[in-house]
């Protein structure tokens, strides 16, 4: 099960270690963890609510993982994304990739989180001192995709 959407908190270290376990052909594991920060866009953040599109979310993530698997020779991929109520300091998302060599693991995990940021149906609503606010999409998340465009 390479893709998991859940309300429960998770342990990033455990997920990182699980990507290698007993696979003696794996030389390189890369794990990315996104955390809730206590500050964003100039405001203190006391927590957030993560909304998603049940049904579509898992499909969107699986499609992104399949695209990565077509592009790089990977052993295992693991994506866990939380929804619901989150506190500052809690992990939001884990993207882990194992492979024989390091460049595939680095590039595939970076690719997956870049695509997740612009293609997977999640929306963050932050609690700030001025009340709740929907997080605005970052321009940089779109331009981050440029590096994955096929080279001519």
Partner 1 sequence: MITVQFFARYRELLNQDQAHMHWDEHLDTVGALRNRLVDRGEPWILLSEPRLMCARNQELCNLDEPLRDGDEIAFFPPVTGG
34 makes contact with partner 1 (CB under 8 A)? yes
Residues within window 111-130 making contact with partner 1, judged by CB under 8 A: 113, 116-125
CB atoms < 10 A from the CB of 56, how many? 11
Task: Find out whether 71 and 87 touch, Cβ atoms under 8 Å.
Answer: no
User: Residue 55 or residue 89: which is nearer to its own copies going by CB?
Assistant: 89
Task: Find out whether 118 and 142 touch, Cβ atoms under 8 Å.
Answer: yes
Partner from partner 1, its own copies, none contacting 55, C-beta within 5 to 8 A by type: partner 1
Tell me if residue 52 falls in helix, strand or coil: strand
75 makes contact with its own copies (CB under 8 A)? no
Q: Which two tokens stand for residue 112?
A: 């997956």
> Which of 28, 49, 76, 135 lies at the binding interface for its own copies (CB under 8 A)?
28
Task: Find out whether 3 and 62 touch, Cβ atoms under 8 Å.
Answer: yes
112 makes contact with its own copies (CB under 8 A)? no
Which residues lie near its own copies (CB under 8 A)? 11-17, 20, 22, 24-35, 37-39, 88-89, 91, 100, 102-103, 105-106, 109-110, 113, 144
Applying CB under 8 A, which residues contact partner 1? 34, 50-53, 55-56, 59-60, 63, 81, 92-93, 102, 113, 116-125, 134-138
């Amino acid at each position: 099960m390479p893709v998991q959407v859940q309300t429960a908190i998770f342990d990033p270290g455990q997920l990182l270690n699980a990507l290698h376990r007993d696979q003696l052909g794996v030389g390189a594991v890369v794990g990315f963890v996104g955390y809730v920060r206590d500050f964003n866009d100039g405001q203190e953040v006391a927590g957030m609510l993560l909304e998603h599109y049940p049904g579509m979310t898992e499909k969107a993530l699986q499609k992104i993982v399949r695209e990565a698997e077509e592009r790089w020779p990977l052993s295992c991929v693991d994506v866990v994304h939380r929804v619901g109520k989150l506190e500052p300091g809690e992990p939001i998302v884990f993207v882990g990739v194992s492979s024989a060599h390091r460049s595939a693991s680095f590039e595939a995990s970076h690719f997956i989180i870049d695509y997740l940021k612009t293609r997977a149906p999640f929306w963050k609503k932050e609690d700030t001192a001025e009340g709740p606010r929907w997080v605005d999409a970052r321009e940089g998340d779109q331009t981050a995709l440029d590096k994955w465009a096929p080279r001519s």
